[in-house]
Structure 1
Amino acid sequence: MRRPPQTISVVTPVHPASIPYLADAYASLRDQRLPAGWQWRWLVQEDGQTGTVAAALPDDPRISTGTNRPGGPGVTRTMALSRAEGSLVKVLDADDRLTPDALARDIAVLTADPTVGWTTAAALDLLSDHSTVRMATDPPGGRLPAGTVHRSWQEDAYRLPVHPATLCIRTDLLLALGGWLALPASEDTGLLLAASTVCDGHFIDEPGLLYRKWPGQMTNQQAHWSPTERADRIQVIESRVAALARLGIGPTSSTPQGR
Protein backbone atom coordinates (compact mmCIF):
# COMPACT_ATOMS: atom_id res chain seq x y z
CA MET A 1 0.00 0.00 0.00
CA ARG A 2 1.29 3.44 -0.94
CA ARG A 3 2.34 5.57 2.04
CA PRO A 4 0.81 9.05 2.36
CA PRO A 5 3.22 11.90 1.64
CA GLN A 6 5.10 13.62 4.43
CA THR A 7 4.41 17.32 4.79
CA ILE A 8 6.47 20.39 5.54
CA SER A 9 4.25 23.34 6.53
CA VAL A 10 5.54 26.75 5.46
CA VAL A 11 4.27 29.60 7.68
CA THR A 12 3.99 33.13 6.29
CA PRO A 13 2.49 36.06 8.25
CA VAL A 14 1.36 38.99 6.11
CA HIS A 15 0.61 42.64 6.81
CA PRO A 16 -0.77 44.92 4.06
CA ALA A 17 2.52 46.53 3.06
CA SER A 18 4.08 43.18 2.13
CA ILE A 19 1.21 41.93 -0.09
CA PRO A 20 2.95 43.04 -3.33
CA TYR A 21 5.81 40.64 -2.60
CA LEU A 22 3.64 37.54 -2.10
CA ALA A 23 3.87 36.56 -5.77
CA ASP A 24 7.66 36.31 -5.52
CA ALA A 25 7.46 34.31 -2.30
CA TYR A 26 4.96 31.92 -3.91
CA ALA A 27 7.09 31.49 -7.05
CA SER A 28 10.10 30.55 -4.93
CA LEU A 29 8.00 27.99 -3.07
CA ARG A 30 6.29 26.62 -6.18
CA ASP A 31 9.68 25.92 -7.77
CA GLN A 32 11.07 23.90 -4.84
CA ARG A 33 12.09 20.33 -5.62
CA LEU A 34 11.31 18.07 -2.68
CA PRO A 35 12.58 14.57 -1.89
CA ALA A 36 10.38 11.69 -3.01
CA GLY A 37 7.40 11.25 -0.71
CA TRP A 38 7.33 14.88 0.50
CA GLN A 39 4.96 17.77 -0.15
CA TRP A 40 4.62 21.34 1.10
CA ARG A 41 1.64 23.26 2.43
CA TRP A 42 1.75 27.06 2.55
CA LEU A 43 0.01 28.53 5.60
CA VAL A 44 -0.54 32.22 4.80
CA GLN A 45 -1.95 34.19 7.72
CA GLU A 46 -3.17 37.80 7.55
CA ASP A 47 -2.40 40.03 10.53
CA GLY A 48 -5.91 41.48 10.26
CA GLN A 49 -9.25 40.47 8.87
CA THR A 50 -9.59 42.40 5.61
CA GLY A 51 -9.42 39.39 3.28
CA THR A 52 -7.03 41.25 0.97
CA VAL A 53 -4.26 38.70 1.50
CA ALA A 54 -6.33 35.72 0.35
CA ALA A 55 -7.49 37.70 -2.68
CA ALA A 56 -3.88 38.33 -3.71
CA LEU A 57 -2.90 34.64 -3.77
CA PRO A 58 -3.07 32.25 -6.71
CA ASP A 59 -5.51 29.36 -6.91
CA ASP A 60 -3.38 26.53 -5.57
CA PRO A 61 -4.81 23.76 -3.34
CA ARG A 62 -1.52 23.67 -1.43
CA ILE A 63 -2.20 27.15 -0.04
CA SER A 64 -4.20 27.56 3.18
CA THR A 65 -5.20 31.07 4.25
CA GLY A 66 -6.38 32.45 7.57
CA THR A 67 -6.96 35.74 9.38
CA ASN A 68 -6.76 36.96 12.94
CA ARG A 69 -7.34 40.16 14.87
CA PRO A 70 -4.33 42.46 14.44
CA GLY A 71 -1.74 41.24 16.93
CA GLY A 72 1.68 41.49 15.30
CA PRO A 73 3.89 38.87 13.66
CA GLY A 74 4.30 36.56 16.66
CA VAL A 75 0.56 36.19 17.21
CA THR A 76 -0.04 35.83 13.47
CA ARG A 77 2.57 33.11 13.01
CA THR A 78 1.26 31.16 15.98
CA MET A 79 -2.35 31.41 14.79
CA ALA A 80 -1.26 29.82 11.51
CA LEU A 81 -0.17 26.73 13.47
CA SER A 82 -3.83 25.79 13.87
CA ARG A 83 -3.59 24.50 10.29
CA ALA A 84 -0.10 22.98 10.43
CA GLU A 85 0.36 19.51 8.98
CA GLY A 86 3.31 17.17 9.10
CA SER A 87 6.47 16.86 11.12
CA LEU A 88 8.30 20.04 10.02
CA VAL A 89 7.53 23.76 9.97
CA LYS A 90 9.47 26.21 7.82
CA VAL A 91 9.28 29.99 8.15
CA LEU A 92 9.03 32.21 5.07
CA ASP A 93 8.35 35.91 5.46
CA ALA A 94 6.03 37.43 2.87
CA ASP A 95 8.70 39.70 1.40
CA ASP A 96 11.43 37.05 1.14
CA ARG A 97 12.21 34.27 -1.34
CA LEU A 98 13.51 30.75 -0.91
CA THR A 99 16.53 29.73 -2.94
CA PRO A 100 16.29 26.61 -5.13
CA ASP A 101 16.19 23.35 -3.13
CA ALA A 102 16.17 25.16 0.24
CA LEU A 103 13.38 22.93 1.59
CA ALA A 104 15.08 19.78 0.34
CA ARG A 105 18.23 20.67 2.26
CA ASP A 106 16.25 21.28 5.47
CA ILE A 107 14.42 17.98 5.07
CA ALA A 108 17.63 16.08 4.35
CA VAL A 109 19.28 17.26 7.58
CA LEU A 110 16.27 16.68 9.82
CA THR A 111 15.41 13.25 8.45
CA ALA A 112 19.02 12.05 8.61
CA ASP A 113 19.58 12.90 12.29
CA PRO A 114 16.69 12.70 14.80
CA THR A 115 18.83 14.40 17.47
CA VAL A 116 18.82 17.67 15.52
CA GLY A 117 15.72 19.74 16.34
CA TRP A 118 16.04 22.62 13.89
CA THR A 119 18.02 24.06 11.02
CA THR A 120 19.01 27.49 9.79
CA ALA A 121 20.80 28.36 6.58
CA ALA A 122 22.91 31.08 5.10
CA ALA A 123 20.92 34.07 3.86
CA LEU A 124 21.60 36.64 1.18
CA ASP A 125 20.39 40.22 1.63
CA LEU A 126 18.40 41.11 -1.50
CA LEU A 127 18.96 44.79 -2.25
CA SER A 128 16.77 47.16 -4.27
CA ASP A 129 19.11 46.89 -7.29
CA HIS A 130 18.64 43.08 -7.17
CA SER A 131 22.23 42.51 -6.00
CA THR A 132 22.84 40.24 -3.02
CA VAL A 133 25.14 40.39 0.01
CA ARG A 134 25.93 37.47 2.33
CA MET A 135 25.99 37.85 6.12
CA ALA A 136 29.53 38.19 7.41
CA THR A 137 28.78 36.38 10.68
CA ASP A 138 27.80 32.97 9.31
CA PRO A 139 29.30 30.10 11.32
CA PRO A 140 30.84 27.07 9.61
CA GLY A 141 28.30 24.64 8.25
CA GLY A 142 27.33 21.76 10.50
CA ARG A 143 26.00 21.01 13.95
CA LEU A 144 25.24 23.85 16.39
CA PRO A 145 25.33 22.37 19.92
CA ALA A 146 22.65 23.56 22.33
CA GLY A 147 23.57 26.85 23.97
CA THR A 148 26.08 28.04 21.37
CA VAL A 149 23.68 30.37 19.52
CA HIS A 150 22.59 31.99 22.77
CA ARG A 151 26.16 32.57 23.91
CA SER A 152 27.08 34.11 20.57
CA TRP A 153 24.00 36.37 20.75
CA GLN A 154 25.03 37.65 24.16
CA GLU A 155 28.65 38.18 23.19
CA ASP A 156 27.84 40.07 19.97
CA ALA A 157 25.59 42.82 21.42
CA TYR A 158 22.46 40.70 20.96
CA ARG A 159 22.97 39.99 17.28
CA LEU A 160 22.32 36.44 16.13
CA PRO A 161 25.06 34.49 14.36
CA VAL A 162 22.42 32.82 12.15
CA HIS A 163 19.32 34.22 10.46
CA PRO A 164 15.98 33.41 12.17
CA ALA A 165 14.09 33.94 8.89
CA THR A 166 15.68 30.70 7.61
CA LEU A 167 14.45 28.51 10.48
CA CYS A 168 13.05 25.04 9.88
CA ILE A 169 11.93 23.27 13.05
CA ARG A 170 10.27 20.04 14.11
CA THR A 171 6.56 20.65 14.60
CA ASP A 172 6.40 19.00 18.01
CA LEU A 173 9.34 21.05 19.26
CA LEU A 174 7.72 24.26 18.01
CA LEU A 175 4.44 23.43 19.73
CA ALA A 176 6.16 22.37 22.97
CA LEU A 177 7.88 25.77 23.08
CA GLY A 178 4.52 27.54 22.69
CA GLY A 179 5.10 28.85 19.18
CA TRP A 180 6.39 32.37 18.68
CA LEU A 181 6.57 34.92 21.47
CA ALA A 182 3.76 37.50 21.49
CA LEU A 183 6.20 40.38 21.02
CA PRO A 184 5.86 43.31 18.60
CA ALA A 185 9.16 42.19 17.03
CA SER A 186 12.02 39.72 17.65
CA GLU A 187 9.49 36.92 18.04
CA ASP A 188 11.53 34.83 15.60
CA THR A 189 14.72 35.50 17.55
CA GLY A 190 12.94 34.38 20.72
CA LEU A 191 11.83 31.11 19.16
CA LEU A 192 15.23 30.35 17.68
CA LEU A 193 17.01 30.98 21.00
CA ALA A 194 14.51 28.82 22.88
CA ALA A 195 14.89 25.98 20.39
CA SER A 196 18.68 26.29 20.48
CA THR A 197 18.59 26.04 24.27
CA VAL A 198 16.50 22.87 24.24
CA CYS A 199 18.38 20.91 21.59
CA ASP A 200 21.10 20.95 18.96
CA GLY A 201 20.57 22.53 15.58
CA HIS A 202 22.34 22.50 12.24
CA PHE A 203 23.60 25.36 10.07
CA ILE A 204 23.37 24.80 6.32
CA ASP A 205 26.20 26.73 4.67
CA GLU A 206 24.47 26.96 1.28
CA PRO A 207 22.20 30.05 1.02
CA GLY A 208 18.58 29.16 1.65
CA LEU A 209 16.93 32.58 1.56
CA LEU A 210 16.91 35.88 -0.25
CA TYR A 211 16.17 38.38 2.54
CA ARG A 212 14.63 41.44 0.93
CA LYS A 213 15.78 44.87 2.09
CA TRP A 214 13.12 47.53 1.51
CA PRO A 215 11.79 50.63 3.33
CA GLY A 216 8.51 49.06 4.47
CA GLN A 217 9.96 46.05 6.28
CA MET A 218 9.33 46.00 10.01
CA THR A 219 13.02 46.10 10.96
CA ASN A 220 13.32 49.42 9.11
CA GLN A 221 10.71 51.13 11.27
CA GLN A 222 11.84 53.60 13.93
CA ALA A 223 9.79 51.86 16.62
CA HIS A 224 11.75 48.64 16.07
CA TRP A 225 14.91 50.33 17.33
CA SER A 226 13.41 52.13 20.31
CA PRO A 227 16.00 51.52 23.07
CA THR A 228 13.32 50.92 25.72
CA GLU A 229 11.30 48.47 23.66
CA ARG A 230 14.40 46.64 22.41
CA ALA A 231 15.65 46.24 25.98
CA ASP A 232 12.27 44.86 27.04
CA ARG A 233 12.23 42.38 24.14
CA ILE A 234 15.74 41.19 25.00
CA GLN A 235 14.75 40.77 28.65
CA VAL A 236 11.73 38.61 27.77
CA ILE A 237 13.85 36.44 25.48
CA GLU A 238 16.61 36.09 28.10
CA SER A 239 14.06 35.20 30.77
CA ARG A 240 12.59 32.46 28.60
CA VAL A 241 16.01 30.94 27.92
CA ALA A 242 16.91 31.10 31.62
CA ALA A 243 13.62 29.47 32.60
CA LEU A 244 14.22 26.59 30.20
CA ALA A 245 17.66 26.10 31.73
CA ARG A 246 16.33 26.22 35.31
CA LEU A 247 13.72 23.60 34.46
CA GLY A 248 16.43 21.34 33.10
CA ILE A 249 14.96 21.34 29.61
CA GLY A 250 18.06 20.89 27.50
CA PRO A 251 20.02 18.60 25.24
CA THR A 252 19.89 15.73 27.74
CA SER A 253 16.10 15.63 27.31
CA SER A 254 14.62 13.67 24.42
CA THR A 255 14.27 15.75 21.26
CA PRO A 256 10.75 15.89 19.76
CA GLN A 257 10.90 13.86 16.58
CA GLY A 258 7.69 14.75 14.78
CA ARG A 259 4.34 13.13 14.42
Structure 2
Amino acid sequence: MVLISVITPVYNARLDYLTAVYESLAAQELPDGWSWEWLVQHDDPSDLELPAAIVRDQRVRPGSARHGGPGVARTVALQRAGGRYVRNLDSDDVLPPNALADAIAVLESHPEIGWTTCRVLDLMPDGSLTEFPGDPADGPIPLGAVAEYWRAHDWRLHVHPTTITIRHDLLLAIGGWMALPISEDTGMMLTANAFSPGWFIHKVGLHYRQHAGQITKADPNASDRTERMEMINRRLKAIDALLDQAKKGPGQ
Protein backbone atom coordinates (compact mmCIF):
# COMPACT_ATOMS: atom_id res chain seq x y z
CA MET A 1 0.00 0.00 0.00
CA VAL A 2 1.40 3.38 -1.02
CA LEU A 3 0.89 6.19 1.48
CA ILE A 4 0.18 9.88 1.28
CA SER A 5 0.94 11.62 4.59
CA VAL A 6 -1.34 14.40 5.81
CA ILE A 7 0.26 16.64 8.46
CA THR A 8 -1.81 18.80 10.81
CA PRO A 9 -0.43 20.90 13.69
CA VAL A 10 -2.77 21.27 16.64
CA TYR A 11 -2.73 23.86 19.42
CA ASN A 12 -5.86 24.71 21.42
CA ALA A 13 -7.90 23.23 18.59
CA ARG A 14 -11.64 22.64 18.76
CA LEU A 15 -12.51 18.94 18.83
CA ASP A 16 -15.50 19.46 16.56
CA TYR A 17 -13.23 20.96 13.93
CA LEU A 18 -10.73 18.11 14.31
CA THR A 19 -13.57 15.63 13.96
CA ALA A 20 -14.63 17.34 10.74
CA VAL A 21 -11.05 17.08 9.43
CA TYR A 22 -11.01 13.36 10.22
CA GLU A 23 -14.38 12.76 8.60
CA SER A 24 -13.17 14.50 5.44
CA LEU A 25 -10.12 12.23 5.39
CA ALA A 26 -12.24 9.13 5.94
CA ALA A 27 -14.32 10.14 2.91
CA GLN A 28 -11.33 10.40 0.55
CA GLU A 29 -11.69 8.52 -2.73
CA LEU A 30 -8.15 7.29 -3.33
CA PRO A 31 -6.73 5.35 -6.28
CA ASP A 32 -6.40 1.59 -5.89
CA GLY A 33 -3.36 0.66 -3.83
CA TRP A 34 -3.21 3.96 -1.97
CA SER A 35 -4.00 4.91 1.62
CA TRP A 36 -3.50 7.97 3.80
CA GLU A 37 -1.97 8.51 7.20
CA TRP A 38 -2.86 11.50 9.35
CA LEU A 39 -0.03 12.87 11.46
CA VAL A 40 -1.77 15.02 14.06
CA GLN A 41 0.99 16.91 15.83
CA HIS A 42 0.18 18.51 19.18
CA ASP A 43 2.24 21.70 19.51
CA ASP A 44 2.53 21.03 23.24
CA PRO A 45 4.32 18.27 25.19
CA SER A 46 1.09 16.94 26.69
CA ASP A 47 -0.81 14.12 25.00
CA LEU A 48 -3.45 15.18 22.52
CA GLU A 49 -6.95 14.16 23.50
CA LEU A 50 -8.90 12.98 20.46
CA PRO A 51 -12.40 11.50 20.17
CA ALA A 52 -12.43 7.72 20.57
CA ALA A 53 -13.56 7.10 16.99
CA ILE A 54 -10.49 8.90 15.69
CA VAL A 55 -8.08 7.17 18.07
CA ARG A 56 -9.33 3.74 16.95
CA ASP A 57 -8.40 4.44 13.34
CA GLN A 58 -4.88 3.08 12.85
CA ARG A 59 -4.31 5.54 10.02
CA VAL A 60 -4.29 8.34 12.60
CA ARG A 61 -0.85 8.87 14.16
CA PRO A 62 -0.88 11.50 16.91
CA GLY A 63 2.30 12.97 18.31
CA SER A 64 3.40 15.75 20.65
CA ALA A 65 6.46 17.91 21.30
CA ARG A 66 7.37 21.17 23.00
CA HIS A 67 5.58 24.27 21.75
CA GLY A 68 7.31 25.87 18.78
CA GLY A 69 4.56 27.15 16.51
CA PRO A 70 2.87 25.52 13.51
CA GLY A 71 5.93 25.41 11.27
CA VAL A 72 8.03 23.64 13.88
CA ALA A 73 5.17 21.27 14.74
CA ARG A 74 4.72 20.27 11.10
CA THR A 75 8.44 19.69 10.62
CA VAL A 76 8.67 17.61 13.80
CA ALA A 77 5.81 15.46 12.48
CA LEU A 78 7.58 15.07 9.14
CA GLN A 79 10.17 12.74 10.67
CA ARG A 80 7.35 10.23 11.34
CA ALA A 81 5.84 10.49 7.86
CA GLY A 82 5.95 7.42 5.65
CA GLY A 83 4.18 8.80 2.60
CA ARG A 84 5.49 9.26 -0.91
CA TYR A 85 3.78 12.64 -0.84
CA VAL A 86 2.93 15.01 2.01
CA ARG A 87 -0.26 17.07 2.16
CA ASN A 88 -0.46 20.21 4.27
CA LEU A 89 -3.75 20.48 6.22
CA ASP A 90 -4.80 22.84 9.01
CA SER A 91 -6.83 21.72 12.02
CA ASP A 92 -9.91 23.73 11.07
CA ASP A 93 -10.18 23.02 7.34
CA VAL A 94 -11.73 20.09 5.49
CA LEU A 95 -10.97 18.23 2.27
CA PRO A 96 -13.52 17.41 -0.42
CA PRO A 97 -13.46 13.69 -1.36
CA ASN A 98 -11.34 14.22 -4.49
CA ALA A 99 -8.57 16.28 -2.88
CA LEU A 100 -5.85 13.70 -2.26
CA ALA A 101 -6.55 11.70 -5.43
CA ASP A 102 -6.25 14.79 -7.61
CA ALA A 103 -2.80 15.61 -6.22
CA ILE A 104 -1.66 11.99 -6.47
CA ALA A 105 -2.75 11.84 -10.12
CA VAL A 106 -0.69 14.89 -11.08
CA LEU A 107 2.44 13.87 -9.18
CA GLU A 108 2.31 10.29 -10.45
CA SER A 109 1.84 11.43 -14.06
CA HIS A 110 4.41 14.24 -14.03
CA PRO A 111 7.69 13.24 -12.34
CA GLU A 112 9.16 16.65 -13.18
CA ILE A 113 6.57 18.36 -10.95
CA GLY A 114 7.52 18.67 -7.29
CA TRP A 115 4.31 19.92 -5.73
CA THR A 116 0.68 20.85 -6.36
CA THR A 117 -1.83 23.40 -5.13
CA CYS A 118 -5.52 23.68 -5.92
CA ARG A 119 -8.66 25.80 -5.78
CA VAL A 120 -10.15 26.75 -2.42
CA LEU A 121 -13.69 27.54 -1.31
CA ASP A 122 -14.29 29.49 1.89
CA LEU A 123 -16.36 27.51 4.39
CA MET A 124 -18.52 30.10 6.12
CA PRO A 125 -19.89 29.83 9.70
CA ASP A 126 -23.36 29.01 8.34
CA GLY A 127 -21.95 26.06 6.38
CA SER A 128 -22.17 27.73 2.98
CA LEU A 129 -19.26 27.68 0.52
CA THR A 130 -18.03 30.87 -1.13
CA GLU A 131 -15.90 31.11 -4.24
CA PHE A 132 -13.52 33.94 -5.06
CA PRO A 133 -11.92 34.88 -8.39
CA GLY A 134 -8.29 35.06 -9.41
CA ASP A 135 -7.15 31.44 -9.69
CA PRO A 136 -4.61 30.63 -12.42
CA ALA A 137 -5.34 28.14 -15.18
CA ASP A 138 -4.98 24.42 -14.59
CA GLY A 139 -1.46 23.27 -15.33
CA PRO A 140 2.22 23.79 -14.58
CA ILE A 141 3.61 26.58 -12.40
CA PRO A 142 7.10 27.36 -13.77
CA LEU A 143 10.20 27.42 -11.63
CA GLY A 144 10.30 30.65 -9.61
CA ALA A 145 6.91 31.87 -10.85
CA VAL A 146 5.34 31.98 -7.40
CA ALA A 147 8.04 34.29 -6.05
CA GLU A 148 7.82 36.50 -9.13
CA TYR A 149 4.08 37.03 -8.61
CA TRP A 150 4.47 37.38 -4.83
CA ARG A 151 7.07 40.15 -5.13
CA ALA A 152 5.01 42.02 -7.71
CA HIS A 153 1.80 41.94 -5.64
CA ASP A 154 2.79 43.21 -2.17
CA TRP A 155 3.76 39.77 -0.83
CA ARG A 156 0.44 38.23 -1.89
CA LEU A 157 0.15 34.86 -3.60
CA HIS A 158 -1.98 33.72 -6.52
CA VAL A 159 -2.09 30.12 -5.22
CA HIS A 160 -2.97 29.03 -1.69
CA PRO A 161 -0.02 27.46 0.20
CA THR A 162 -2.24 25.66 2.69
CA THR A 163 -3.34 23.35 -0.16
CA ILE A 164 0.15 22.16 -1.04
CA THR A 165 0.91 18.50 -1.66
CA ILE A 166 4.64 17.96 -2.08
CA ARG A 167 7.03 15.13 -2.76
CA HIS A 168 8.44 13.82 0.51
CA ASP A 169 12.07 14.01 -0.59
CA LEU A 170 11.70 17.57 -1.87
CA LEU A 171 10.15 18.65 1.43
CA LEU A 172 13.03 17.09 3.35
CA ALA A 173 15.60 18.69 1.07
CA ILE A 174 14.26 22.21 1.66
CA GLY A 175 14.16 21.73 5.43
CA GLY A 176 10.42 21.31 5.93
CA TRP A 177 8.32 24.31 6.88
CA MET A 178 9.86 27.64 7.83
CA ALA A 179 10.09 28.34 11.56
CA LEU A 180 7.85 31.40 11.44
CA PRO A 181 4.95 32.19 13.80
CA ILE A 182 2.61 32.18 10.78
CA SER A 183 3.21 32.07 7.00
CA GLU A 184 5.28 28.91 7.47
CA ASP A 185 3.51 27.30 4.51
CA THR A 186 4.11 30.38 2.37
CA GLY A 187 7.84 30.15 3.05
CA MET A 188 7.85 26.43 2.35
CA MET A 189 5.99 26.69 -0.96
CA LEU A 190 8.14 29.57 -2.22
CA THR A 191 11.27 27.63 -1.34
CA ALA A 192 9.96 24.50 -3.07
CA ASN A 193 9.27 26.54 -6.22
CA ALA A 194 12.86 27.79 -6.20
CA PHE A 195 13.93 24.18 -6.86
CA SER A 196 10.98 22.60 -8.62
CA PRO A 197 8.01 23.57 -10.81
CA GLY A 198 4.55 23.03 -9.38
CA TRP A 199 1.07 22.39 -10.74
CA PHE A 200 -2.20 24.20 -10.10
CA ILE A 201 -5.20 21.86 -10.01
CA HIS A 202 -8.28 23.77 -11.14
CA LYS A 203 -10.59 21.66 -9.03
CA VAL A 204 -11.61 22.48 -5.48
CA GLY A 205 -9.29 20.69 -3.08
CA LEU A 206 -9.98 22.48 0.20
CA HIS A 207 -12.81 24.04 2.17
CA TYR A 208 -11.10 26.83 4.11
CA ARG A 209 -13.01 27.46 7.31
CA GLN A 210 -13.65 31.11 8.16
CA HIS A 211 -14.05 31.71 11.90
CA ALA A 212 -13.04 34.20 14.56
CA GLY A 213 -10.40 31.91 16.09
CA GLN A 214 -8.24 31.54 12.98
CA ILE A 215 -4.57 32.09 13.71
CA THR A 216 -4.30 34.46 10.75
CA LYS A 217 -7.11 36.57 12.22
CA ALA A 218 -6.35 36.23 15.92
CA ASP A 219 -2.56 36.64 15.71
CA PRO A 220 -1.64 39.52 18.04
CA ASN A 221 1.62 40.07 16.17
CA ALA A 222 0.13 40.71 12.73
CA SER A 223 2.24 43.89 12.61
CA ASP A 224 5.30 41.68 12.02
CA ARG A 225 4.13 40.84 8.49
CA THR A 226 6.83 42.97 6.89
CA GLU A 227 9.54 41.21 8.90
CA ARG A 228 8.15 37.77 8.06
CA MET A 229 7.88 38.51 4.36
CA GLU A 230 11.36 40.03 4.27
CA MET A 231 12.79 36.93 5.97
CA ILE A 232 11.22 34.74 3.28
CA ASN A 233 12.47 37.09 0.57
CA ARG A 234 16.01 37.08 1.91
CA ARG A 235 15.96 33.30 1.98
CA LEU A 236 14.85 33.16 -1.66
CA LYS A 237 17.54 35.64 -2.71
CA ALA A 238 20.18 33.56 -0.92
CA ILE A 239 18.96 30.40 -2.66
CA ASP A 240 19.01 32.12 -6.06
CA ALA A 241 22.56 33.36 -5.46
CA LEU A 242 23.79 29.91 -4.45
CA LEU A 243 22.12 28.26 -7.44
CA ASP A 244 23.65 30.83 -9.80
CA GLN A 245 27.07 30.23 -8.29
CA ALA A 246 26.65 26.47 -8.63
CA LYS A 247 25.85 26.88 -12.34
CA LYS A 248 28.98 28.98 -12.89
CA GLY A 249 31.19 26.51 -11.08
CA PRO A 250 34.00 27.04 -8.55
CA GLY A 251 36.12 30.14 -8.90
CA GLN A 252 33.67 31.95 -11.17
Using structure 1 for the length normalisation, give the TM-score.
0.90
Q: Is 2:129 the counterpart of 1:132? A: yes
Q: Percent identity?
A: 47
Give me the CA root mean square deviation: 1.5
Does residue 79 (structure 1) correspond to residue 100 (structure 2)? The answer is no
Question: Which of 110, 114, 126 is equivalent to 1:113?
Answer: 110
Equivalent-residue separation in structure 2 for 1:199 and 1:82 (angstroms): 22
- 1:255 corresponds in structure 2 to none
Q: Which blocks of at least 5 consecutive residues in structure 1 are unaligned? A: 253-259
**Matches of 1:218 and 1:49, distance apart in 2:** 20
Equivalence for 2:152: 155
The 5 A counterparts of 1:37-76 are 37-54=33-50, 57-76=54-73
C-alpha contact (below 8 Å) 2:48/2:63 kept by paired residues: no
SS at match of 1:239: helix
Instruction: Please report the TM-score for the alignment, with normalisation by the length of structure 2.
Output: 0.93
What do the CA deviations read for 1:127-148 (whole angstroms, capped 9, x no partner)? 1111112232211111100111
Partner of 1:146: 143
Contact 2:120/2:206 (<8 A) preserved: yes
- Checking the alignment, whether the CA contact within 8 Å between 2:120 and 2:131 is kept in structure 1 is yes
1:19 maps onto 2:15 in alignment: yes
Q: Tell me, yes or no, if structure 1 residue 32 matches structure 2 residue 25.
A: no
Ranges in structure 2 where 5+ consecutive residues have no aligned partner: 248-252
What is the rounded CA distance, in whole Å, between the counterparts of 2:149 and 2:132 in structure 1?
A: 15
Corresponding residue for 1:234?
229
CA displacement at 1:247 relative to structure 2: 1.5
Matching of residues 138-217 of structure 1 within 5 Å: 138-217=135-214
What amino acid is the match of 2:26? R
CA distance in 2, matches of 1:173, 1:135: 30
Range that drifts further, 237-246 or 129-138: 129-138
1:220 aligns with 2:217: yes
SS at match of 2:13: helix
- For each residue in 1:169-205, what CA deviation from the matched residue of structure 2 results, as whole angstroms up to 9, or x when unmatched? 0000000000011110100000010111111100000
Query: Residues 46 and 53 of structure 1 are in contact (CA less than 8 Å); yes or no, is this contact kept in structure 2?
Result: no
